[in-house]
Amino acid sequence: MSYRPTLILLVVVGFLGGLLWMLQHSVEPTAHRLAQSGRVLDLDLMRVESLALRNGDDEMELVRRGPEWWIVRPVEARADEARIAQLLSASEALVSRETITREQRQHRGLSLGDYGLDIPRTSVTYRTPLGRRHLLIGDAARLGKHTYVRIDGESDVSLADADLRDAMPSSIEAMRDRALMHGQAARVTRLEIERPGGGFVQLLRSATGWVVQQPMREAAAPEQVNALLDALYAARMEQFIWDPPAGQTPVNADALPVVDAPAAPVESYGLAADMSPARVRIWEAGDDVGRELVFGKPVEAGSQSVYAMFVDRGAVFTLPAALLTQFQLPVNDLRSRELVRLDPRRIRYLAVQQGDRKLTLGHTDANGWSIVEPIQWPADSETVAGVLRQLTDARIQAFVDAPATNPAVPLDERATLRVTLDTIYAAAAVPDGTAPDASGSGKADGTSGRCELVAMDDDSDDLLTVAVNGRPGRYQVRRNALVFLPEAAVLPLACFDRTVLAVAPERVLRITVRDASREQILERNAEGVWRVVQPAGGHPDAQALSEVLFGVSNLRAERVADQNPKLLSDYGLDAAAQSLTIGLSGGEAIQKIILVGLPAGNSGRYAMIQGQDVVFVLHQSTVDTLMRGVVVPAQEAPAP
């Protein structure tokens, strides 16, 4: 006997039974299933695609467009995302506290009207991909914060919390989003401002920052541009004045109707092209069309609000007048006040010229800063860094775009100072101290690579007029910002490296201290032992020797006094009264002689390294250390 047909029959019967059970439960009344869960709405509210709201005489329809909610009837406008979230949250949390069936109402002699649900004045329709639910909201319960609700098509009435009723908007305006702009200010790539009498201003965000493109090409002040954008994206619409009918796209922004006279032009709001005090256009990254915001006249005389509209939407609303004021600033307020737009840490070349005097400095990774012209000498890195910081910190006080006072005399002929900075320095290419070729090292607008300044003295005691190569107009800069002008004659000395001698102690083989009354000589033998050569009978002063070796290892001057002096006698260095000679390993010819001359002020002495035409000042305490003597004479030697 075969059991196979019987087994197949049992499987089929089981499958049909299960299917029948599922069908029975799937057609089970919604009210029964909701009673089991306690929730009034059996919906996935995260998948709601549209809402239809009715609250008294106000009716509106909203739809989800991607991540955003929009009102599409009776007007088309962006909805307040927070209000939508509150409404959906209250809908999801709607739980039945008590269910009143038709039989119970009949037994009590009550009808739907007794619960405010025969012709309810408040309702919400939810539409999802799976269908729709129409929730009717009736009267408030007499006790507690509850209200009566019913699903349209169901007979049962539920007593639920009143949170949903409270979340219902009191008007269409209450559901509208009041944010003027959406997106992020940081994503704006282009900004245009057009004002009657104030001209047209165009700003573009480049790889190096904001640039004024019109009416001139100039680096913009990022803090000013960002302040405008931040104010724009933080602004909120105050009142909604007029909306075009839903589905109507404005064709001509200069002929939109107004609320009291549908056929009237926008002149009533001061929004016409020839009346608007300002028009602002904004483009964000990836947006080829942009948006145009038009400002209108004040709502009334002395009002702190003005009319405004977006051309692409056509709706008229009001904004704070302070926002309009921010966009009425002069174009010069948007221009960068930086005179030198280079990072001082990247500058590798500096040339300063006043008349026939010229100072040229170059920087290499191996040697740091060096003076190239008028002599070749190591430069003091701290001093040069300070000069560069002062130059890059200089700020433009005023823009002078008009012709010069005497246009017949070119700026070059009245130039009193020329400064060139560059981020490139090729030492081999600067034999005469001329500026290196900066082609390709930066942009023509001077925002990177190279900057050339020409300063002109004028009648002001405090200001200089400055032109920058490749940039429009001229600028006024405080005189003290360009430290080279009053100190041009001595500037090279200020940049000299104040480390005038640096000798490793292990290289020192011989020390000679000489003055008018003595000459002491110490010499180190092959074993590294110091012995006295002169005077006879003395012995090395270990403490003094150690201090001299330490001093010459990094001998720093207080300042550089002169370079290539005409008369050494002016400094007492033609026949120096004191000297310190340091003999070095490598032969007798290798030695450094420090000459010490006359007093320099109250606490210093003029000095120089023999063979170098640079006079510097050593502190008196440094001179005392170097010249104190390194030999203890025989009569001072302690008894054995």
Phi and psi torsions of 637, nearest 5°? -70, 140
Looking at residue 87, its pLDDT comes to: 92
**596: closest CA among 620, 630, 625, 573?**
573
Q: Are residues 225 and 313 in the same domain?
A: yes
Is 278 a member of any domain?
Answer: yes
Looking at residue 54, its pLDDT comes to: 93
Residue 204 has pLDDT above 50, yes or no: yes
Question: What separation in angstroms does the CA of 357 have from each of 77, 117, 156, 485, 491?
Answer: 69, 97, 101, 11, 10
Looking at residue 435, its pLDDT comes to: 46
Looking at residue 429, its pLDDT comes to: 47
Interval 324-337 mean pLDDT: 92
Cα three-residue angle 417-420-422, rounded to 5 degrees: 165
C-alpha–C-alpha distance, residues 113 and 119, integer Å: 7
Q: Are residues 170 and 209 in the same domain?
A: no
- Chain segment 31-85, per-residue pLDDT in tens: 444 445 688 888 787 889 999 999 988 899 999 998 899 999 988 889 999 999 9
**240: closest CA among 262, 259, 266?**
259
Question: What separation in angstroms does the CA of 166 have from each of 83, 87, 90, 120, 162?
Answer: 11, 9, 9, 16, 6
Residue 119 has pLDDT above 50, yes or no: yes
Q: Are residues 557 and 470 in the same domain?
A: no
Last residue of a domain, one of 491, 511, 535: 491
SS3 472: coil
pLDDT over 90, % of the chain? 44
Q: Are residues 542 and 631 in the same domain?
A: yes
**461: closest CA among 486, 485, 478?**
478
Q: Are residues 311 and 409 in the same domain?
A: no
Residue 276 has pLDDT above 70, yes or no: yes
C-alpha–C-alpha distance, residues 340 and 343, integer Å: 9
Q: Are residues 35 and 164 in the same domain?
A: yes
Q: Are residues 213 and 258 in the same domain?
A: yes
Q: Are residues 410 and 509 in the same domain?
A: no
Of the pLDDT bands very low, low, confident and very high (cuts 50, 70, 90), residue 307 is very high
Question: What separation in angstroms does the CA of 558 have from each of 604, 606, 607, 618?
Answer: 8, 10, 11, 6
Query: Whole-model pTM?
Result: 0.70
Residue 358 has pLDDT above 60, yes or no: yes
Give the CB-side neighbour count of residue 464, counting CA atoms within 13 A: 27
Last residue of a domain, one of 452, 475, 491: 491
Is 363 a member of any domain?
Answer: yes
Torsion of CA 16, 18, 20, 26, to 10 degrees: -150
For position 600, which CATH number holds?
2.60.40
C-alpha–C-alpha distance, residues 554 and 499, integer Å: 6
Interval 297-316 mean pLDDT: 89
Higher per-residue pLDDT: 232 or 585: 232
The single residue listed with the structure tokens 């680096």 is 219
C-alpha–C-alpha distance, residues 51 and 70, integer Å: 10
Q: Are residues 241 and 166 in the same domain?
A: no
pLDDT over 70, % of the chain? 83
Angle, helix 542-553 to helix 620-627, in steps of 10 degrees: 130
Contact 394, 482 (CB under 8 A): yes
Q: Are residues 106 and 191 in the same domain?
A: no
For β-strands 131-140 and 122-128, DSSP reports them as antiparallel
Is 201 a member of any domain?
Answer: yes
Interval 510-517 mean pLDDT: 91
**628: closest CA among 534, 523, 544?**
544
Is 21 a member of any domain?
Answer: no
Sign of CA dihedral 235, 239, 245, 250: negative
C-alpha–C-alpha distance, residues 470 and 449, integer Å: 12
Q: How many domains does the chain have?
A: 4
Round the average pLDDT of the chain to a whole number and report it. 83
- Burial status of residue 64 (CB atoms within 10 A of its CB: 0-12, 13-18, 19 or more): middle
CA gyration radius, the chain: 44
SS3 81: helix
Is 310 a member of any domain?
Answer: yes
C-alpha–C-alpha distance, residues 574 and 310, integer Å: 84
Last residue of a domain, one of 474, 491, 508: 491
Looking at residue 39, its pLDDT comes to: 83
Phi and psi torsions of 423, nearest 5°? -90, 0
Of the pLDDT bands very low, low, confident and very high (cuts 50, 70, 90), residue 23 is very low
Q: Are residues 581 and 602 in the same domain?
A: yes
Looking at residue 377, its pLDDT comes to: 83
**258: closest CA among 270, 268, 250, 248?**
268
- Chain segment 558-617, per-residue pLDDT in tens: 988 888 888 999 999 998 889 999 999 876 568 999 999 999 988 899 999 998 888 999
Q: Which tokens in the block code for residue 261?
A: 């006279």
Q: Are residues 514 and 559 in the same domain?
A: yes
Is 55 a member of any domain?
Answer: yes
Q: How far is CA 117 from the centre of its chain?
A: 59
Is 309 a member of any domain?
Answer: yes
Residue 425's identity, in one-letter code, is Y
The whole domain housing 144 covers 30-175
Is 4 a member of any domain?
Answer: no
Q: Which tokens in the block code for residue 78?
A: 């962006």
